[in-house]
Structure 1
Amino acid sequence: MKVSIVGSEPAIWRLLEIDPSLTMDKVHEVLQTAVGWRDSHLHSFTDTDPYVRLRAVNGIVREPRRWVSLDLLEDNDEDLPETDWTLGQILTPESGPLFYEYDFGDGWIHRLELTGSVPTPANAPRARLLDGARRAPLEDCGGIGGYHDLLDTLADPGHEDHRGLQAWVAWTAGPWQEFDPEKLDIDAVNNELTLLFHAHATSEQGHGSESLTQELTNRMPPGLRSEFRSYLHAAGLDGPAAVKADVAEAMTAPYLWLTRRVGLDGLSLTAAGWLPPAVVREAMTELDWAKDWIGKANREDQTLPVLQLRESAQRLGLIRKIKGRLVLTSATKQLLDNPEGLWLFLARSIAHRHRHDSERDATMLLLLEIAAGKRTEWADYLEAVAFGLGALGWSTHTGAELEPNTVQALLVDTQEVLLNLGIFDDRFGLNSNTIKTPGQAFARAALHS
């Protein structure tokens, strides 16, 4: 079956080998996957070209047949349920082409033509992409005419709308794929088509058996899962998720120092509940933080790096405060001389210890960006995480998209850990943060936990 987007120039098309016994609701899912739409709008099938005016035959104008999803049936008594009809019943050598409309506002019309029939073995895939050209247009760009205008504007740096549309394209396409109108990854499409018909293998596992990335993927809107999965693959999550002992010791140095300083006997706080001044000075000196700090660095409430380190260690489950003393948790007592173990403990903790699910999701998306290692500017990290949170359904209480400052607030604790580990080296997000291999390994370890 050849699928072409009507009016596209150069043509956007797909050649599919598809099981004719599929009901039309499944054909819709195949088309969304094969063309590359996000399945965020309504759709219908019809056996008549919407752009051609029907002619009377013997004084009678044949009414076109239209197949729709169940939620649209109530709008028109003459429509047919797509769940009750198969592709083989509608698209035959005698029938002529079938037409699929997606997004009734933009009006993307797809022409479906039968090109032949071949015998297939019992284990053949229900749908497979054989060939094609060019990616799907961007959603909500105004139909095929709007898409052509968009491409013309993007190709003209001198156009008054060039920069504005560049920003719109970047946000609409999202952080998981670069917008390239010529790109079509046939292997990736076929992988998604396989998953479409074997969903139970990834989304119907028992409770608690999903990895963190599988759980995130399954919560994405169906139309975005393929893009997210492709980005997961590009992030190299199957790469190394461990470090050598000397690297682990260097990365965990602040937490290692604090836990050893608390020690097996614990550490008494002042009457006001702060670390003793001598310990604060010791921390700033031993961790080489004093050179960058203005002040005496002897009061914890006025020495932010030490205060944040202590609070971070408590959130991560390394230490606890009991009756005016800091004590090690039982797990930490086993890690005082095991930097590699502490490194893995921190990776698990950063993935699982959060006050709210929104913070957890933001952290997972940030760790994915770190594993991918493609970004350097903190603003770009925030934008990528904001897009992912929106895809997962997070918004403000008024339903608005999350702004960068809101995302920053969700990531403040996670960012502190990453700064302490040396994965990020710019506390204020003013300079570039180049992610090195150990930082990527830490992110992978956290996402695998």
Structure 2
Amino acid sequence: MTASGKRRHLSVVPDVPVIVRPSERRGRRRVAGYHLRIELDEVSPPIWRQFVVPSNLRLHELHPIVQTIMGWQDSHLHSWVGGEPPASERYDMRESIEEGFADEEDELCEDAVRLDQVLAEPGEQLSYLYDFGDGWEHTIVLERIDADASEPTVTCLAGARACPPEDCGGPGGYDDLLKVLATPSHPGHHDAGAWVGPGFAPESFGVDTVNRGLRIEAVIRDHGPVTDSKFAALLRRIPHQAAPQVFSLLERAHLTDRLGDIHETIEAATFHLRWFLNRIGPDGITLTQAGYLPPAVVAEMRRELPGFDDWPATSNRESDQRPVHLLREYAKTLGLVRKYKGKLIRTNLGSATASDAGRLWAHLLDRLPLADEPIEREAGYLVLLTLAAGTTSDERRDVIAEGLAALGWQTSDGTIVGREELFWIARPTISFLELTGAMVEGWVQRDQPMDPVWGRLFAQMVLSM
């Protein structure tokens, strides 16, 4: 009762529910094995997979696993939604957030959220959207937690039916595509069959094939190149299934734990070019009337430069000494020398790097692999991968052939590039590596790798740029 004698009316205020969003959870203290099931929404008969992953993965690490498990090619954007309303939240790719594609009021990045925050108990769900145009929505359910599995291996356990082709129009478009493929009398049957390719079988699924892809994914994750390197960009264009030999070399290539003495490598990799630039000197070298290096200079190069006296021709004409001519051409290609009024002179860059091995080294890392055409550059990257991995010549041929085929290169008659043509495609890079001694006769038949340790480190560094 109040001082005025009136009765005060009291009411019970209901508890306001505390909303805890998945990203606010602490996650598990100890890593466990998460048994997950993923199913593609709005597709019948269902396309699903069961698989095991470590509970402490962040969502950006789960993404490539989901892509491999399902069979997608990772050529579109994606996002996630975790939690039940009103506690649900969306997780976007860092690229989507930085480029303004994500909702400004809900910019949670997938690399900041762990799987065991989003899925804490069996039965909880996580949505995964792939390709915002086609709109492929997936539902991921946590089926079981294996608390005794402290270091679970990512493994596919079971599944059903093949992944739809990319860019087929989402669930509705895929349903229409299947009807056309199943009806030989349909006017679009032939074109649809040609578009999906002869290997597409909608009812097929192979758990062993998926697990091979997961092992390759693990190699890329643990031993792959620097994420923003040019070589990493090339690898992202190569389907795992189409190039198992290429990806199997990543572990041997030691791109993340490089071996060797970097100072020795810099000295060795730049030695021939530095010697040549210093021999040219500030005044340049007067060329013969035909435009070649004088015989006396050629003879000096054969005496002073490792490997140059091994060339079978005995004359001291530049046109007869391929190593001499190649060194001059590579120096020109690299922007270090040029012809001027009957002389071979250094460019400003050539003068600056003649006595600066570190600067010349940085220039080589930026320019390699050497190429005039895209196919030469891509073949050059594959050559460097085989050098970094210490392959034999046979392995080198197989890897380059496989990689170029997986990248879609074909001959004019529509066949894949043959092993006998590979040397000529990759020759700019191979010849330079042989000239400097980084690769020992890179295309000669040999059963054991003979390339120097510094050559492998040289390749590792180029692949990291």
Task: Give the counterpart of 1:34 among 37, 59, 69.
Answer: 69
Answering whether residue 295 of structure 2 is matched by residue 277 of structure 1, we say yes
Q: 425-434 vs 410-419, which deviates more? A: 425-434
Specify the alignment match of 1:18 in structure 2: 37
Report the secondary structure of 1:442's partner residue: helix
Specify the alignment match of 2:177 in structure 1: 71
Report the secondary structure of 1:306's partner residue: helix
Task: Give the counterpart of 1:347 among 344, 361, 365.
Answer: 365
Specify the alignment match of 2:255 in structure 1: 237
Cα 1:423–1:279 change in 2 (3 A) is: same
Report the secondary structure of 1:327's partner residue: strand
Give, as a single letter, the amino acid of the residue that structure 2 aligns with 1:403. Answer: G
1:221: how far off?
Answer: 3.2
After TM superposition, the structure 1 = structure 2 runs for residues 177-256 of structure 1, keeping only pairs within 5 Å, are: 210-221=228-239, 223-224=241-242, 231-240=249-258, 243-256=261-274
1:416: how far off?
Answer: 1.4
Structure 2, unmatched stretches of 5+, are: 1-33, 50-63, 75-158, 163-171, 184-197
Answering whether residue 439 of structure 2 is matched by residue 424 of structure 1, we say yes
Render the CA deviation track for 1:56-110: whole Å, top value 9, x for unaligned.
xxxxxxxxxx994553343459xxxxxxxxxxxxxxxxxxxxxxxx956697457
Specify the alignment match of 1:360 in structure 2: 377
Cα 1:296–1:186 change in 2 (3 A) is: closer
Cα 1:256–1:190 change in 2 (3 A) is: closer
Matched-pair contact (CA < 8 Å) for 1:220–1:391: yes
Answering whether residue 153 of structure 2 is matched by residue 135 of structure 1, we say no
Cα 1:69–1:220 change in 2 (3 A) is: farther
Cα 1:280–1:387 change in 2 (3 A) is: same
1:293: how far off?
Answer: 4.1
Cα 1:229–1:379 change in 2 (3 A) is: closer
- CA distance, structure 2, for counterparts of residue 416 and residue 288 of structure 1: 15
Tell me the TM-score normalized by structure 2: 0.55
Give, as a single letter, the amino acid of the residue that structure 2 aligns with 1:34. Answer: I
Give, as a single letter, the amino acid of the residue that structure 2 aligns with 1:215. Answer: A
Cα 1:230–1:35 change in 2 (3 A) is: farther
- CA distance, structure 2, for counterparts of residue 76 and residue 186 of structure 1: 31
Matched-pair contact (CA < 8 Å) for 1:284–1:297: no
Specify the alignment match of 1:336 in structure 2: 354
1:304: how far off?
Answer: 1.7
Report the secondary structure of 1:317's partner residue: coil
1:235: how far off?
Answer: 2.4
Answering whether residue 379 of structure 2 is matched by residue 379 of structure 1, we say no
Report the secondary structure of 2:355's partner residue: coil
Report the secondary structure of 2:339's partner residue: strand
Answering whether residue 418 of structure 2 is matched by residue 403 of structure 1, we say yes
Matched-pair contact (CA < 8 Å) for 2:255–2:460: yes
Matched-pair contact (CA < 8 Å) for 2:161–2:204: no
After TM superposition, the structure 1 = structure 2 runs for residues 148-167 of structure 1, keeping only pairs within 5 Å, are: none
After TM superposition, the structure 1 = structure 2 runs for residues 25-64 of structure 1, keeping only pairs within 5 Å, are: 27=48, 33-34=68-69, 45=161
Give, as a single letter, the amino acid of the residue that structure 1 aligns with 2:452. Answer: K
- CA distance, structure 2, for counterparts of residue 278 and residue 314 of structure 1: 21
- CA distance, structure 2, for counterparts of residue 223 and residue 290 of structure 1: 42
Answering whether residue 449 of structure 2 is matched by residue 445 of structure 1, we say no
Report the secondary structure of 2:209's partner residue: coil
Matched-pair contact (CA < 8 Å) for 1:217–1:228: no
- CA distance, structure 1, for counterparts of residue 308 and residue 232 of structure 2: 43
Report the secondary structure of 1:441's partner residue: helix
Matched-pair contact (CA < 8 Å) for 2:423–2:443: no
Give, as a single letter, the amino acid of the residue that structure 2 aligns with 1:338. Answer: D
Matched-pair contact (CA < 8 Å) for 1:35–1:135: no
Tell me the TM-score normalized by structure 1: 0.57
- CA distance, structure 1, for counterparts of residue 399 and residue 208 of structure 2: 22
Matched-pair contact (CA < 8 Å) for 1:320–1:326: yes
* Structure (1 or 2) with the larger CA radius of gyration: 2
Identity %: 28
Specify the alignment match of 1:58 in structure 2: none
Render the CA deviation track for 1:294-317: whole Å, top value 9, x for unaligned.
454321111222112211222233
Cα 1:31–1:347 change in 2 (3 A) is: closer
Cα 1:109–1:411 change in 2 (3 A) is: closer
Answering whether residue 448 of structure 2 is matched by residue 413 of structure 1, we say no
Matched-pair contact (CA < 8 Å) for 2:65–2:217: no
Answering whether residue 323 of structure 2 is matched by residue 305 of structure 1, we say yes
- CA distance, structure 2, for counterparts of residue 370 and residue 422 of structure 1: 12
CA RMSD of aligned residues (A): 4.2
Give, as a single letter, the amino acid of the residue that structure 2 aligns with 1:437. Answer: V
1:342: how far off?
Answer: 2.3
- CA distance, structure 2, for counterparts of residue 108 and residue 26 of structure 1: 10
1:229: how far off?
Answer: 5.5
